[in-house]
Amino acid sequence: MASKIILRELRKADFKALENVIRKTWNYDKFATPKAAEKLAKVYLSTCLANQTYARVAEVDGIPAGLILGKNIATHHCPLKYRLRQSSAIIQLLLSKEGRDILNFYKGVDGIDSRLLKNCNKNYKGEISLFALSPECRGLGIGKKLFQCLLDYMQGEGIKEFYLYTDTSCNFGFYEHQGMKRQQQHKQFVNMRGQKGELEFYVYDMTI
């Protein structure tokens, strides 16, 4: 029996399920305890929600399984409800040493992303703030449908060029298949909870 797939607007009731999608997509449980992984997913989702002007959810058989967030940089204004949710989530993570270490790691990642974007030397008008799809739902064409929703939004806003940050911890090849081009990259050694290795951070962009 084929899955029932619906693309719709974001609802508050989706948050918990989407936090679990983020947790699985970026494998938080590999470098954090379950409690910290849960809090980190909440921080990440709330941070991305504070950085968007467009949201579309993919619901599969009644369960939120994917999300894409986009931003018109010129019109973006963070709603207070998302800023408060973000602040609350960060405070919860700061209450433990593990949480503070994780936040310091991601603060470093933000610094890398900012430098890569600056090196692009472009005045982008749009951004993909977040794109996450449950691993169990890949191969159903959902990612392409969500990406097309984002393209339609950007075109409707008159945005000709947009960018996104990504890295080797996720399926970055998807963006290349959609026609996005890698503009910058940076390799970084990481050590999180005994998990040592290298990550490459990228900026991709697209002209439509």
**pLDDT, position 193:** 64
If you average pLDDT over residues 164-169, what whole number do you get?
A: 93
Looking at the predicted structure, is the pLDDT value of residue 177 above 90? Answer: yes
Looking at the predicted structure, is the pLDDT value of residue 20 above 90? Answer: yes
Annotate 144-185 with DSSP letters as a single string.
Answer: HHHHHHHHHHHHHTT--EEEEEEETTS-THHHHHTT-EEEEE
Beta-bridge mates of residue 186:
201
Q: How many CB atoms lie within 10 A of CB 160?
A: 13
3-state helix, strand and coil shares in percent for the chain, rounded to the nearest 5 = 45, 30, 25
- With cut-offs at 50, 70 and 90, classify the pLDDT of residue 1: low
- With cut-offs at 50, 70 and 90, classify the pLDDT of residue 170: confident
Whether the model pTM is above 0.85: yes
